[in-house]
Structure 1
């Protein structure tokens, strides 16, 4: 029997608060999948500070999305972060065959997770210090990552 405590949420504010809690616990790895990252506040100053702390400490970020257009239009702070830490951040765009995937999740260090059951709704759950809760999402992320292509280059030439 598992001792994992799942923390349900059903609003934008609660989802973003759980995302912030996952980021605050991250030390070495972040794997994030979302169709467009519109709900994860990658452009906020507090998110930027948390990500910079992880990356400055040697951490890595893997971001998989269906489209980068929302990030490019609304998250200039994240694009600066990408430029500053290009060696620690990898962004990929999923292949068209994966565009039917509609869930959304962020896993930190393989043991903390926030996930929404459907990207068009705020209903989801978070779990902390719970590797059993991240096992299936991490397997899915690995499969998504394999079927994705590099995106969000740090310059127009990709260098």
Structure 2
């Protein structure tokens, strides 16, 4: 078991790198807009592609996907390439007050930010007991969502 706190963008990104790199089966994420997750970066694209190539499944829930659509073209290509393994959902209006942020991998590793406007949070590795409440919370959020981002192929 390993638990570490972070309070910077670099610390948050390092925690995500660790969790993305360890994931084999599932990555489940919630953030109001994923603006600070750098899902469109070269590094995260490589980590997520390796995860999905191995047959992993990715679930994202956001209040809005506008930032991903506008700022993360690599993530949109990832969605196009692996849409059968990625599910993006959008919360109902009744949940828009939620401001925390988290990622759970394989029901054993979790990265949590206590508020989406700040980088203060913690990462817990190999600690399934710490993920249980986060997973239950995600199930509740998931039940109040609608389909979100989809792979779209456009052409002339």
Fold conserved between structures, TM > 0.5: yes
Query: For 1:138-153, what aligned pairs fall within 5 Å after superposition?
Result: 138-153=135-150
1:42-92: CA deviation from partner (whole Å, max 9, x where unpaired): 011111111111111111000000000000010000000000001000000
For the residues of structure 2 that align with 1:8 and 1:81, how far apart are their CA atoms? Answer: 30
SS in 1 for 2:27: strand
Instruction: Supply the distance in 2 between the matched residues of 1:68 and 1:147 (Cα, whole angstroms).
Output: 16
Question: What secondary structure sits across from 1:85 in the alignment?
Answer: helix
Distance in 2 separating the partners of 1:95 and 1:5: 34
Cα deviation code 1:17-57 (max 9, x no counterpart): 10111101000100000000011110111111111111111
* TM-score calculated relative to the size of structure 1: 0.94
Counterpart in the other structure of 1:129: 126
Gaps of 5+ in 2: none
Match of 1:50 among 40, 47, 60: 47
Matches within 5 A, 1:59-98: 59-98=56-95
Structure 1: runs of 5 or more not aligned = none
Runs of 4+ residues over 6 Å off in structure 1? none
Q: 2:75 aligns to what SS in structure 1? A: helix
